[in-house]
Amino acid sequence: MNKTILHLDLDTFYVSVERLIQPALKHRPLLVGGTSDRGVVAACSYETRGFGVHSGMPMRMAKQLCPEAVVIRGNAGTYSKHSDVVTEIIKEQVPVFEKSSIDEFYADLTGMDRFFGSYKYATELRKKIIKETGLPISFGLSVNKVVSKVATNEAKPNNQIKIDFGYEKPFLAPLSIKKIPMVGDKTYQTLRNLGIRQVKTVQEMPKDVIHQVLGANGVLIWKRAQGIDNTPVVPFNERKSISTERTFDKDTIDVVKLKGILTAMTENLAYQLRRGEKLTACITVKIRYSDFNTYSKQKRIAYTSADHILIPKVMELFQSLYNKRMLVRLVGVRFSHLVSGNYQINLFEDTEETLNLYQAMDKVRQRFGDRAVLRASAMGAKTIGRMQNPFNGQPPVVLAHRKQ
């Protein structure tokens, strides 16, 4: 049986929210993103796009291209609040839905044709969201997630599109290969070098050829170009890893500062693990030098969520990774191989005092926020800390590429 998959995407979400708060900003060019030297554009209004601005671009460059634009730093908390309002509406109206990011939703409307007519139903849902929240939203409706997503992007801004069953291939054919989700800058270049520009060309290629060029990913791209995608709409996405990273406003070689930041990151992530009753078995430390060369190193460990085990391991990895005597631009920590569970106490290494201390600190954080108690060595890092439980099944609330 054919499925009916709806993809909803809030147009220039951060910009729309800012305009909702400050109606004076309507119809004016607007940039949301980092305002520091290293900041990048997280969202830009359609007015600025004419100047060549796009999201992910360094804020400085965007300001040069469009000097009259208003620049706003943005607040993740406000955005997630507005996103939740939209989520509530969708949740009430559709049988199965997936929130794939702060401003994107998939819904499985399969079988609803018999009662309502899916397109009509989706149109009403969109109108309802616009009326109740005041936020512009677009949708694409088709047989699977990939085609719907591409369709939404074609429909934007503030519009809707329906790809009738059987017309997926002709719909994709004239588009640029860049429009296929998964084709980034690198893959785009590789394909362009082969003389491929339109999806049509990929559609006509034999599968083996693209496999030779791009490997297993190529086959997936080829399938997507054919309009084939069987991924289901999953309502709850389990986190596979948690991570933080920090780009400095100014590159640094201050090892004490770097270690302080890594300590703060590890301490915070370990608290997230304990709060979500998770354990990690793999830690990764990432470092980017001022020349943009990025290195990372990972290590398998026994399942744990204890600071006093994780912090030394992170330091150990950092020591072996940081060997260039060069300015550092970014450091980051990631915990992966997560499982549900609590810390197994060690007979010889854990004293009752440490365990009680952890429990007390976690209690304080629960009540007064996750930066309420910190290790002194981690105090220098002012902005490390999450606001939200990462294990609630929601997509991470991050301003996409606020920094480059």
Binding window for other proteins (CB under 8 A); candidates: 23-31, 249-257, 284-292, 352-360: 352-360
Residues 155-184 touching other proteins, rule: CB under 8 A, are: none
**# chain residues binding other proteins, by CB under 8 A:** 24
Q: Is 104 tagged catalytic?
A: yes
What count of other Cβ atoms lies within 10 Å of the Cβ of residue 275? 17
The span from the CA of 381 to the CA of 374, in Å, is 10
Identify the CA nearest to 371 among candidates 384, 353, 354: 384
Tell me: is residue 103 an annotated ligand-binding position: yes
Alpha-helix residue ranges (DSSP H) falling in 205-254: 207-225
Return all residues near 277 (Cβ < 8 A) that are at least 6 apart: 340, 341, 342
Cβ atoms of 207 and 296 closer than 8 Å:
no
Query: For other proteins, what does the binding mask look like between residues 223 and 252, x meaning CB under 8 A?
Result: ---------------x--------------
Cβ proximity to other proteins, 26 vs 308, nearer residue: 308
Query: For other proteins, what does the binding mask look like between residues 311 and 350, x meaning CB under 8 A?
Result: ----------------------------xxxxxxxxxxx-
Q: Does 271 bind other proteins (CB under 8 A)?
A: no
Q: Does 359 bind other proteins (CB under 8 A)?
A: yes
CB 357 → other proteins: shortest distance, Å?
11
Tell me: is residue 9 an annotated ligand-binding position: yes
Residues 365-404 touching other proteins, rule: CB under 8 A, are: none
Annotated active-site residue in 18, 88, 98, 104 = 104
Sheet of 160-162, strands arranged across: 96-101, 104-108, 5-10, 137-142, 160-162
Helix (H) / strand (E) element for 244: namely strand 241-252
What count of other Cβ atoms lies within 10 Å of the Cβ of residue 302? 9
CB 338 → other proteins: shortest distance, Å?
10
The span from the CA of 128 to the CA of 139, in Å, is 13
| Residue in this structure with the two tokens 């990690």, named with its chain if needed | 280
CB 402 → other proteins: shortest distance, Å?
32
Alpha-helix residue ranges (DSSP H) falling in 134-280: 145-155, 168-172, 185-193, 199-204, 207-225, 255-275
Binding window for other proteins (CB under 8 A); candidates: 125-133, 137-145, 172-180, 272-280: 272-280
- Contacts with other proteins by CB under 8 A lie at 238, 274-275, 277, 279, 303, 339-349, 352, 355-356, 358-359, 362-363
Please enumerate, by residue number, every residue annotated as part of a binding site for Mg(2+): 9, 103
State the catalytic residues: 104
